[in-house]
Chains A and B, each alone.
Chain A
């Protein structure tokens, strides 16, 4: 114990204020490793959409990446304590978070999405849900989103514990509403005749948070530049297509 304290005090004297991230410093990225298919582990190897995007960004920036995995609840604490430089875990930009952190440009655009059975061309978007039966997951905020529509009283909303996608494919309900990324994932992974109907309606944007310090701002600018380059080059789209079969990196 005593030596631990003495060691700590000695090391404290060595580490004074941290300057800007030097060019050869690795980028320390926090993620949960538990959010399929964004960040997960298979056979001891860290994989996922967020890993691929971050690797591409780091390559573009000419930096090494060091991934720190911890439970989601700990990630912002690690960022606040300066143990990591950013979090790559589909962090949604919210007003609350904007008060404490600065964000890069969004790299994932998500939103509420209407999904219908393949061949149903009658429903082209949220406006066409009038007079239809629509399934939503219990506890999700999509029911609220539907209730806020001016024609909400004309929509028959059904809440499901699970398997709403199956009932939509069977035709028991006309459509279901879910976030686009998860919906795309279901369409890709499950052998069900489903398709996305129209654009998203109530947007969610995900980005990289940084600490609002000189170092954080410089890193954010560096990341934004790399994001723009990868976007122009089509790398973001390619990675998205690989995991989701659709481009979630554009609005």
Chain B
């Protein structure tokens, strides 16, 4: 077995860390947009709002039913073939678009499950005192659903961070892209990818800490 080149690994850390902000930007923006879209989709589904409900069902079915890489290729390579002016969708935008649509379809289903999980009697009580659908959602259902949905939503966020590693196929040099290129230049594949793996791992660990903190806060009302 060959010996690992630790000097190379140490030298690589600052270089690869330079690409972490872009990775976090893709994931962060993707997560926020996906969350907003997922909430809308979930509410539409739960309330079974006519017409839009059918749109939501097809949307979720498509974006959950096809691989993210296929969707990214569709946005980035496919659309400009139909409309040449769509090359204005750059690699970063296409990645965020793909992450948003793909993960919103998953998140919509977990949010919907969390909403359904709120006891039906509470909905009936709220409606009986004259709350509108909007008030019911905002004041009664969503705050409770948030607590239930949080762990799975954090799971998706972690998944989004790792999914940004697909962006290099669209020419976006983020953490994974930078690692692949450095590895190709040095032939030290194990060293390069282990550094990248540890960086991803540490980021995800920090997020897990944030998750525990948020969970503890949301559970305050329930603890005795």
Residues of A within 8 A of B (CB): 1, 4, 8, 11-12, 15-18, 30, 32-36, 40-44, 46-47, 68-71, 73-74, 77-78, 80-83
Contacts and interface: CB of A to CB of B under 8 A. Distances in A.
Contacts of A74: 77, 169-171
A171 to B, nearest CB: 26
B117 interface: no
Given A1-B100, A70-B170, A81-B76, A42 B85 contact: no
Interface in B30-77: 33, 36-37, 73, 76-77
B171 A78 contact: yes
Interface stretch (B138-146, B180-188, B212-220): B180-188
B168 A71 contact: yes
Interface of B: 11, 15, 18, 33, 36-37, 73, 76-77, 80-81, 83-89, 93, 97, 100, 168-171, 173, 177-178, 180-187
Contacts of B169: 70-71, 73-74
11 contacts: A17-B84, A30-B171, A33-B181, A42-B185, A69-B171, A70-B168, A71-B168, A73-B169, A74-B169, A77-B76, A82-B80
A32 B15 CA distance: 19
B85 A33 contact: no
Contacts of A41: 178, 181-182, 184-185
Contacts of A18: 84
Nearest to A33: B181
A42 B89 contact: no
A242 B84 CA distance: 40
Given A15-B85, A74-B77, 9 more contacts: A4-B97, A12-B86, A12-B88, A36-B184, A41-B184, A42-B182, A42-B186, A74-B169, A83-B87
Nearest to A37: B185
B80 A83 contact: yes
Contact of A44 (B18, B170, B171): B18
B77 A81 contact: yes
B88 A11 contact: yes
A15 to B, nearest CB: 4
Contacts of B183: 34
B171 A43 contact: no
Central interface residue in A47, A68, A74, by most chain B CB within 10 Å: A74
A35 B185 CA distance: 8
Given A34-B180, A44-B18, A71-B169, A81 B87 contact: yes
A1 B182 CA distance: 34
B81 A80 contact: yes
Q: Which 3 A-B residue pairings sit nearest by Cβ, starting from the closest?
A: A34-B184, A40-B185, A70-B171
Given A12-B83, A69-B171, A70-B169, A35 B76 contact: no
A219 to B, nearest CB: 17
Nearest to B14: A44
A1 B183 CA distance: 36
Contacts of B76: 77, 81
Most central of B18, B88, B100 by chain A CB within 10 Å:
B88
A15 B88 contact: yes
B185 A47 contact: yes
A162 to B, nearest CB: 14
Contacts of B187: 36
Contacts of B182: 41-42, 44
